[in-house]
């Protein structure tokens, strides 16, 4: 098979696919997108049902119950810090440590991180979770859009610590020799699994199904693992040995719940 990739953010991919659907123009065959956006595509009728023979090797909660996609991998949320700016005895060990007065106006974060916001409330209970976020808001967090940008700024010393980053992204910078490191907080949160699915009216459905099967196979999953991702296939795990055997907390959220989390986030942090 010859595969042509169109890479973009989940939000841009979602908008593009919905626009193509409204125009009755079907250019792609397969989509790999965040679980939340995959759910929206399913609700809008933009996906087709395909139950890959490889799906049985994935956790039940990673599989759409109606056959509209399977989770390929998930991102792991960690606390990032600049190893040149933060002495070893001051490295935050968990989220509560971010409330230390020394980090006031020193923390960086993404202004649309509604998922982690909701996941901690789910793990701790709504009231305890909200109380933590309100206290964090008092730290006067510096908001910057996008984890790649935030990791770059952390590496450059713009900020000493981040509220959260993607573990695989920090590892990429570590491999380049950047002065960044990460801590796995408790709970260790994994993103809503990035799902692969067959698009409605795919021009090349047979080839699309072969590609989906491959990406869910051991070989395909190891490719993702080698790129630092945390694959979903049972028996595989994150590439980084620091995460071996780690218990990952995952929060499955639909589009309506996600929208509500956004409103609560903005109310707490007053970013919009």
What dotted CATH number matches 10-72+193-239?
Answer: 3.40.190.10
Which candidate, 104, 137, 133, 131, places its Cα nearest to that of 117? 133
- Whether 77-189+255-269 and 10-72+193-239 are alike in CATH topology: the answer is yes
Averages of pLDDT over each 10 residues, the chain, 272 residues? 60 74 78 88 90 96 94 96 98 98 98 95 95 98 95 98 97 97 96 93 93 97 92 91 89 87 95 72
What's the confidence (pLDDT) of residue 119?
A: 95
What's the confidence (pLDDT) of residue 20?
A: 76
Contacts of 216 (CB under 8 A, 6+ apart): 52, 54, 55, 57, 58, 70, 72, 196, 233
Instruction: Provide the CATH topology of domain 77-189+255-269.
Output: D-Maltodextrin-Binding Protein; domain 2 (3.40.190)
Contacts of 118 (CB under 8 A, 6+ apart): 251, 253, 257, 258, 261
Rounded Cα gap, residues 255 and 28, in angstroms: 23
What's the confidence (pLDDT) of residue 6?
A: 60
What's the confidence (pLDDT) of residue 165?
A: 98
What's the confidence (pLDDT) of residue 208?
A: 95
Contacts of 70 (CB under 8 A, 6+ apart): 52, 54, 55, 58, 62, 63, 64, 195, 196, 197, 212, 216, 232
What's the confidence (pLDDT) of residue 182?
A: 98
Query: Which residue ranges make up each domain of the chain?
Result: 10-72+193-239, 77-189+255-269
What's the confidence (pLDDT) of residue 8?
A: 54
Task: Find where tokens 């040149």 sit.
Answer: 84
């Amino acid at each position: 098979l010859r595969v042509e990739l169109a890479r973009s953010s989940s939000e841009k991919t979602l908008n593009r696919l919905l626009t193509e659907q409204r125009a009755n123009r079907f250019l792609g065959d397969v989509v790999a997108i965040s679980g939340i956006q995959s759910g929206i595509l399913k609700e809008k009728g933009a996906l087709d049902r395909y139950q890959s023979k490889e799906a049985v090797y994935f956790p039940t909660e990673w599989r759409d119950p109606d056959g509209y996609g399977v989770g390929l991998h998930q991102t792991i949320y960690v606390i990032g810090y600049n190893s040149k700016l933060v002495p070893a005895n001051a490295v935050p060990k968990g989220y509560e440590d971010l409330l230390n007065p020394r980090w006031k106006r020193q923390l960086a974060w993404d202004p649309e991180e509604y998922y982690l916001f909701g996941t901690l409330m789910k793990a701790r209970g709504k009231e305890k979770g909200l109380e933590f976020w309100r206290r964090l808001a008092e730290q006067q967090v510096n908001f910057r859009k996008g984890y790649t940008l935030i990791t770059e700024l952390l590496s450059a010393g713009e900020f000493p610590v981040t509220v959260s980053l993607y573990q695989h992204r920090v590892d990429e910078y570590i491999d380049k020799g950047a002065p960044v490191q990460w801590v796995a907080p408790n709970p260790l949160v994994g993103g809503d699994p990035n799902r692969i699915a067959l698009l409605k009216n795919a021009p090349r459905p047979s080839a699309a199904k072969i590609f989906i099967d491959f990406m869910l196979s051991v070989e395909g999953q190891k490719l993702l693992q080698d790129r630092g991702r945390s694959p979903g296939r049972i028996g595989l795990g994150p590439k980084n040995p620091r995460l071996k055997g780690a218990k990952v907390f995952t929060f499955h959220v639909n589009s309506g719940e996600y929208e509500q989390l956004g409103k609560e986030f903005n109310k707490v942090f007053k970013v919009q």
